[in-house]
Structure 1
Amino acid sequence: MDLNNVAPDRREVLEKIALYERQRRFDEDVENDPPAPVLLPDRVDYLNKKLKSRIATGISNFIADHYFTRLIKKDVLIIDGVEGKENLAALKGGAMITCNHFSPFDNYVIYKSIEKELPKGKLYKVIREGNYTNFPGLYGFFFKHCNTLPLSSNPRTMINFLSAVNVLLTRGETVLLYPEQAMWWNYRKPRPLKLGAFKMACRAGVPVVPMFITMRDDERLDGSGYPVQRHTLHVLDPIYPDKTLSERAAAERMKETNYHLWVEKYEEVYKIPLDYGEQEERSE
């Protein structure tokens, strides 16, 4: 499409995505976010042990559900359908969901598509540190309180994070983590994956349920001049940890299987082979 018709800030992001793809910098952020405060251990209640945390979560989830339901009714956020719902049976007993990450709203595409199948009715979402500590307004409120699990650059906070994820998974909850790491706006291709989600699943002894969201352009344009995206959620075959392998080896195998399933679904839906283009050396 002609990027000249896209708002300058979004055009800059799309151009950066194209550059990072050529340079194979798949896990790097492309948004121009300001530096974020470090999330310290006493600033997050991962397991909602405090009454005020539970109240804030209830209020936030109520508001978010009404907010995003309204976006769906207005065709601002479009979910065309869900494929592979039979694979959601693997969520019983705890599971890690993985999905491609291309929008601040993609977690809600997942939640709205599978909410009736969530064994405990909740979807816990791993988010980046800056979204928790530095995001303003209504979305900042959602990022803080809608069953989110923020990462942190503080080692002690990360110990608490890993412990909380393990508690949630082993007690039968569902956790969403984006193993591509960075959000690339409206990027349709699957990117190479990080190991963390799979190590956490192995440690808790739960499956990974890989999901892949495909998109197609609507006739209408969004506020930035880019086509509104129509989403289809594909729930792929669950991946179970191999208990005969070490944790790392089992996680590596799960990661490779996940990526293969994503590539397979991408090529099936878009009817083109996955191609990142000619590689370009990174300029210093």
Structure 2
Amino acid sequence: MLILPASQVLTVVGMGTNVHQKKPIQGPAVIVSNHVHPFDELALVRAMWPRITYFVSMDANFDIPVAGKILSFFGTIPVGSDAAGLREFHRQTRRHLAAGDLVGIFPEGERGHDPRRMAPLRPGAFELAVGAGVPVIPCRLVGTGHVFGLLWRRERLDVWVGDPIVPDPAMTRHHAARAMMAQASAQFEELSRRHP
């Protein structure tokens, strides 16, 4: 798989990556993160390595001439805009999670404009985690908002990995997903406060 070599692009453009986590991630999980730069996916792939992380992207992005081929090449999972597309999205994501892999989702739904704060989270990533019975792990990327450093000006990217959030089996799927989303929001706020 060429995902890790592709993440070396970060080194080529003069960007170092530091990963801060209490312990390695065990088992399948949904990785949720802030999203402020096109290189965010590569940074998270590098941070999670040697675990394999499959990211998701809106199906319309696959129609972009060059970007679409790159997304397909790296196994990115399309999020369909109709019922059939959504069923296929859930089939693929659950297959990867059942295989013990990581699935990466940016729960804001689109790239944010302010690296210091996140937009309100959308429930899809948390509904996926509840349906698959896997934890959600919040990650905060710090530094990507001012990347594209030149070769002679090295930038640093920090990836802060939060605590796993496990779905509550005593709750309905709807309420369990909303509870996980609230916990993730609280972790993002705390990570943002401690690591601006």
TM bin, normalised by shorter chain, reads 0.7 to 0.9
Which structure 2 segments of 5+ residues have no match?
Answer: none
Give the aligned length.
194
Shift of 1:192: 1.4
SS of 1:143's equivalent in the other structure is: helix
Match of 1:78 among 16, 22, 26: 16
**Counterpart check, 1:269 vs 2:190:** no
1:249 maps to amino acid: H
1:179 maps to amino acid: P
Match of 1:246 among 169, 172, 175: 172
- Give the TM-score of the pair, scaled to structure 1: 0.62
- Compared with structure 1, are the counterparts of its residues 148 and 216 closer, same or farther at alpha carbon in structure 2 (3 Å cutoff)? closer
**Counterpart check, 1:145 vs 2:73:** yes
Higher relative contact order (CA 8 A, sep 6+): 2
1:213 maps to amino acid: L
**Amino-acid identity (%):** 25
User: How many Å separate the matches in 1 of 2:156 and 2:114?
Assistant: 11
Q: How much is the aligned-residue C-alpha RMSD, in angstroms?
A: 2.4
SS of 2:31's equivalent in the other structure is: strand
User: How many Å separate the matches in 2 of 1:265 and 1:101?
Assistant: 14
Equivalent residues of 2:56, 2:76 under 8 A apart: yes
User: How many Å separate the matches in 1 of 2:37 and 2:142?
Assistant: 12
User: How many Å separate the matches in 1 of 2:148 and 2:92?
Assistant: 41
Which structure 1 segments of 5+ residues have no match?
Answer: 1-57, 271-284
- Compared with structure 1, are the counterparts of its residues 132 and 228 closer, same or farther at alpha carbon in structure 2 (3 Å cutoff)? farther
Shift of 1:74: 4.1
Match of 2:127 among 182, 194, 199: 199
Determine the structure 2 residue equivalent to 1:53: none
Equivalent residues of 2:109, 2:122 under 8 A apart: yes
1:82 maps to amino acid: V
User: How many Å separate the matches in 2 of 1:217 and 1:163?
Assistant: 33
- Give the TM-score of the pair, scaled to structure 2: 0.88
Equivalent residues of 1:125, 1:148 under 8 A apart: yes
- Compared with structure 1, are the counterparts of its residues 213 and 142 closer, same or farther at alpha carbon in structure 2 (3 Å cutoff)? same
Equivalent residues of 2:13, 2:148 under 8 A apart: no
SS of 1:232's equivalent in the other structure is: strand
